[in-house]
A and B are shown apart, each in its own frame.
Chain A
């Protein structure tokens, strides 16, 4: 069966690996695409989907692994080579040139020309035919692309793919920019393409869409294939989520200390909303309590945290910290009054990778160690050393650069930053993403210790098990709405998923 697959496959990938510096983005990905199918690739943010796509598009060269195209082993040296083979890619951030016309965009890189002069009339005519084929004969080929809606830009991008002899189109989250009517049109176009024998690789994490359009599914988790070519029809959603989030590693969550009966409310979120992202979020967190936000990627979890913190300006509602109403959209105000955020993207949002550990730890508080604005580096190092010892951060040298540390230790730097600063309310966004199992347990223990010491904690994680294991109370979120607020010990992961699925479908 697998052998057959191997023979008849349009594209066959085995054991693909790719590293960037010390980070292994792909650790062994298998993929087999048949002609005329819609093959869905599922995976969480950071699972390696983008790296995989870019490798197939010739943007990256793989370190190891085999790629076969119609049975022949090949190397895809650059994007032009991919296009020449017949592999076209529609990136999420649409790669159209705003200042050029629709026809110019479609034939970008392979202009219709004679003797070096572009043949505008001929190109426009050819473009019109392609657009008509995509159900958009109404678009004028001479119109400037910058004036188009995202949906129409996508049509242009697709027409460009078809303008070459394309056998495989990779679509990276094509529905992300579309409304439901436009999604229908997209699906119609996809069906037409596949009917003509063109294969479509469809990337999405909207499970309901996958059911509608997909033929087979491959799942990637942490750079590795966890499923290859499952039939969409025969695979339950729960199974897909299991493959995507990975449950084979059971985590042990340290027991929680019950929240004291008279514990004061430290964080009060009332009717908070950011237009277009989420709305009507209300909850409160008491000293020593851990509240978890559970939901899938894109449900609005991170946005809620950012709005509470002031990193995103809310359009409605209020945040009260230990009895003080925070000025909306001011990180400074939140930090000054004792709130801290450990952001989702540690490297790009949290750390100064080229600076030493101690300066990263004191980033929010170095002013306090200074005298008349002169830095107190000795005191900073001492404070950092204390945290390094308390959190068992390795390496223990405060002068080592943050960029050289592992994910778990980088996470500890962020926790240490807020410990030094002295926060009452700690917001943790994906505190264990990219953290190995051993360090995970340490971070769980740390979160427990912090809450036992009276810190109010709000935690967001893609791993529902983690939210339920750590939190006293869980808010289930889908599509920017809070669906339920439940006692974490009284709800199972499956219940949460059922809630999320219902919420997403509605």
Chain B
């Protein structure tokens, strides 16, 4: 899989028009309206068209950044800072995209990220990990997956509403992380681990590479595999999927396990960025991830969404933060702007959903 990495970056936007999930339904069943709709709406209906809004939004933000902050914004270092900043939320958002397309929600990812970082930095783990720091990574990822499986089992087989089940996991795993760490911050002792996450590859920081790889794999998984097809089918019409013989419960569980996996990976990235594991890691990250996914055009009711959209959603928020920081505007103003963007995106989405429903 790793040989796909270099190609992953360019592959994402170029192959996107083929994705079946992003094609917008034609509004009216009668042929006349189709003909009248013409090229423009055809284009707007295609995935490129649907992502056009996101591209424009990102472009406008960049233009504002370039005008107001000049070189400080356009500098390559700054651009990398933006993406580096975005990468951890970005990885969470990829898992979240699957869960939401499948008709669910995962509120626990931020807490699970924190728990994963705590478990991985426990003295016992680190002592073992002296053999290879990859063991530490493995433990963190495993914690994420286990938490995800628990979410999935409770939701799928316990018939608990996803919102409540993952809210419970949010609270519980944060608490569990506090118990394990005794509320103290634990330092990563492996110098190799610290070095690895500080390093660049072809001029691009490792954190960004991880985001790129996760996003590319997520894109392939959603658009090119049976797993992705099942996800879209179950989110689009759960009953139809069930009656067609799909194993809806089991697949739903997998979706939460996947989200847990990305939370574990994000936990490792967090340790790499801060060199510590603490129960406060990832606080409120679930909300940033959900916001990015929704702004990226994924329908909260499920059945429709794209990885590319999510990546744009993540980048838009990260760029916004950077533009505000470069202009020395405080975080409160930034939060208000974020709120406005989320509401605008959801308003647009509802218009779209209403059109879909009427058919």
A: residues with CB less than 8 A from B are 20-22, 309, 311, 331-332, 334-336, 341, 343, 348-356, 359, 363-364, 366-367, 370, 373-375, 377, 399, 401, 403-406, 417
Contact A348–B239 (Cβ < 8 Å) = yes
Determine if A356 and B244 form an interchain contact, defined as CB atoms under 8 angstroms apart. no
1/0 per residue, CB under 8 A from A, across B232-252: the answer is: 110011011111111100000
- Chain B: minimal CB distance from A385 (Å): 16
> From residue B28, how far is it (CB to closest CB) to chain A in Å?
6
- Contact A401 B26, beta carbon cutoff 8 Å: yes
Please report the C-alpha to C-alpha distance between residue A356 and residue B233 in the assembled complex, in whole angstroms.
11
Q: Check: B303 CB closer than 8 A to any chain A CB.
A: yes
Interface contact A363-B233, CB-CB below 8 Å: yes
Cβ–Cβ contact A403 & B240, under 8 A = no
- Interface-central residue, B225, B240, B247, B304, by most chain A CB under 10 Å: B240
Contacts of B358 on A, CB cut-off 8 Å? 20-21
Are A401 and B23 closer than 8 Å at their CB atoms? yes
Given contacts A22-B29, A375-B224, contact A355 B243 (CB under 8 A): no
B328 proximal to A (CB < 8 A): no
A349 touches B239 (CB 8 A): yes
- Let me know if B243 and A354 touch, CB within 8 A: no
Interface residues of B in 211-235 (CB under 8 A from A): 224-229, 232-233
Assembled-state Cα–Cα distance A374/B224 (Å) = 6
Contact of A352 among B29, B225, B237 (CB under 8 A): B237
Cβ contact within 8 Å between B233 and A354: no
Q: Report yes or no: B226 in contact with A370, Cβ–Cβ below 8 A.
A: yes
Q: Return 21 A-B CB contacts under 8 Å, by A number.
A: A22-B28, A334-B245, A335-B245, A336-B245, A349-B239, A351-B240, A352-B237, A352-B240, A353-B25, A354-B25, A356-B20, A364-B244, A364-B246, A366-B229, A367-B226, A373-B227, A374-B225, A375-B224, A377-B20, A401-B25, A404-B25
The residue from A331, A367, A374, A405 contacting B242, defined by CB atoms under 8 A apart:
A331
Q: Report yes or no: B233 in contact with A352, Cβ–Cβ below 8 A.
A: yes
Within 8 Å of chain A (Cβ to Cβ): is B356? yes
Residues in A whose Cβ lies below 8 Å from that of B247: 332
Q: Judging by beta carbons under 8 Å apart, are B243 and A349 in contact? A: yes
Chain A interface SS verdict (over half): mixed
- Whether B20 pairs with A353 at a CB distance below 8 angstroms is no
| Residues in chain A near residue B242, CB distance under 8 A | 311, 331
Residue of B with least CB distance to A341 = B243
4 cross-chain pairs, A with B, having the tightest CB-CB distances, nearest first: A335-B245, A21-B358, A403-B359, A363-B244
Check A22–B236 contact: CB distance below 8 A.
Answer: no
A355 in contact with B232 given A22-B29, A332-B245, A404-B25 (CB within 8 Å): yes
Specify which chain B residues have a CB less than 8 angstroms from the CB of A401 in the assembled complex: 23, 25-26
Bound complex: CA of A335 vs CA of B240, how far in Å?
13
Minimum CB–CB distance from A350 to chain B (whole Å) comes to 5
B26 contacts A404, C-beta separation under 8 Å? yes
Whose C-beta in chain A lies nearest to the C-beta of B33? A22
CB distance from A411 to the nearest CB of B (A): 14
Chain A CB within 8 A of B195 CB: no
Contact partners of A404 in chain B: CB under 8 A? 25-26, 29, 359
Within the complex, the shortest CB–CB distance from B234 to chain A, in Å, comes to 10
Contacts of A349 in B (CB 8 A): 237, 239-240, 243
Q: Does B30 contact A (CB under 8 A)?
A: yes
Query: Closest residue to B31 on the A side, CB-wise?
Result: A395
CB distance A331 to B225 under 8 Å?
Answer: no
